[in-house]
Amino acid sequence: MSDDKIFDVDSVTLRFGGVISLNDVSLHQNRGEILAVIGPNGAGKTSLFNSLTGVYQPQEGNITFLGRDAKPISIIGKKAHRVSAAGVARTFQASRMFSALTAFENVKIGAESHKGIGVVGAMLKGPATRRGEKASDAKTIELLDFVGLSHRANVVSASLSYGDRRRLEIARGLATDPQVLLLDEPAAGTNPSEKVQLTDLIRKVRDVMGVSILLIEHDMKLVMSLAERLYVLNFGSVIAEGTPQEIRANDAVIEAYLGSAVDETKGA
């Protein structure tokens, strides 16, 4: 883990009409870190994700991302596809796949999306195009293998189980050569054994591919075992930050969760 801040969120405020979704939020992620953002429902976690990926445009504040070649880039003001090109990949709370396509096709789309458009090349199917396709194919196979979906490569993605869908989304995200992977509730809807596999996979992504991880989760057991550092959001503000141990003992956090049905040992 280095001291480079791969994400630097500075006093970001996001409003929708009269509702303040993110209220003067500041946080950062170090390169190589597995960082988690937790908080009760409606705390603003997905809004944060959407702000980090260019889907929402906060009205105030700055978000700086350390892109490829260690060049800092401002995220606010960029469209989602540009943010993706800069090196930010994400998964969605309810897995969004290209349902009618196979797992292989899903990942392949991720793999080829960052190259130039080459319409003419596409129509002429020249040698350069063919080489590019071979490379994308190889990368796709490699990634499917990495996430453990090789045996399901030709299955239509709508037929995949929840756990497999999560893995597919991760593979597709990784196909874009990201610096950081944002995971939105990856464990939602998975059974205990899938959760264990998922935890291992996430760690593998960071350890083997060097991709920083930022995750939102409700499953406390998973978060506490995986995350190296945590932020806690409530009502759009950061109320705590620290290691899992520190957060567990934090009064403000306990109070925020008081009354909600979150149980640390729950997760099945």
Partner 1 sequence: MKQVLNNVLLRRFLISVAILAVLAVMTGPSGSTLTPTAGFTGSFAEHSSFFGFFETIRWVSFLFLAVVFFVVWTVWLSWGDRIKSGVNRAVSAPRAATQKRPIRWGIAAVLIFVALILPRVVTDPFWQAAMVEQIAVYVLLAIGLNVVVGFAGLLDLGFVAFYAIGAYTTAWVTGALPTPALFGIHMDPFFAIPIAILIAMLAGIILGAPTLRLRGDYLAIVTLGFGEIITIFANNLYGITGGSQGTALIPHFSLHIGPIKYLWGLKPVPYYYLTLIFVVLFLAAFSLLEHSRVGRSWTAIREDEVAAESVGINPLKYKVMAFAIGASTAGFAGVVTASQSNNIFPSSFTLSFSINILVLVIFGGMGSIFGVVLGAMIIQTASMYLLHSPPSGYQSSDLYIYLGALLVVMMIFRPAGLVPSRRRRREIVLSEAGEGHMDEVLTGDQP
Q: Which stretch binds partner 1 (CB under 8 A): 21-29, 171-179, 215-223, 227-235?
A: 171-179
**What tokens were used for 17?**
């009409």
- Candidates 112, 137, 228, 241; binder of partner 1 (CB under 8 A) is 112
Q: How far is the CB of 3 from partner 1 (least distance, A)?
A: 28
Q: In this chain, which of 123, 258, 261, 268 binds partner 1, going by CB under 8 A? A: 123
User: What is d(CA 57, CA 22) in angstroms, rounded to the nearest whole number?
Assistant: 11
Among the residue ranges 24-32, 68-76, 96-104, 217-225, the one whose residues contact partner 1 (CB under 8 A): 96-104
**From the CB of 91, what's the least distance to partner 1, in Å?**
8
CB half-sphere exposure, 226, CA atoms < 13 A: 33
Other beta carbons less than 10 A from residue 3's beta carbon: 6
108 contributes a contact to partner 1 by CB under 8 A = yes
115 binding partner 1? (CB under 8 A): yes
For residues 2 and 32, the answer to whether their CB atoms sit within 8 Å is yes
Query: Does residue 14 touch partner 1 according to CB under 8 A?
Result: no
Selected from 51, 176, 212, 234, the binder of partner 1 by CB under 8 A is 176
Signed CA dihedral, 173, 174, 177, 183: sign only: positive
Helix or strand (DSSP H, E) at 123: helix 119-124
Q: Check residue 169 and give left, alpha or beta (phi > 0: left; psi -120 to 50: alpha).
A: alpha
Whose Cβ is closer to partner 1: residue 78's or residue 206's? Answer: 78
As to burial, measured by CB atoms within 10 angstroms (0-12 exposed, 13-18 middle, 19+ buried), residue 16 is: exposed
**Residues 125-164 contacting partner 1, CB under 8 A:** 125, 129, 132-133, 136, 156, 158
Binding site residues, partner 1, CB under 8 A:
53, 55, 79-82, 84-85, 89-90, 92, 96-101, 105, 108-110, 112-115, 117-119, 122-125, 129, 132-133, 136, 156, 158, 172-173, 175-176
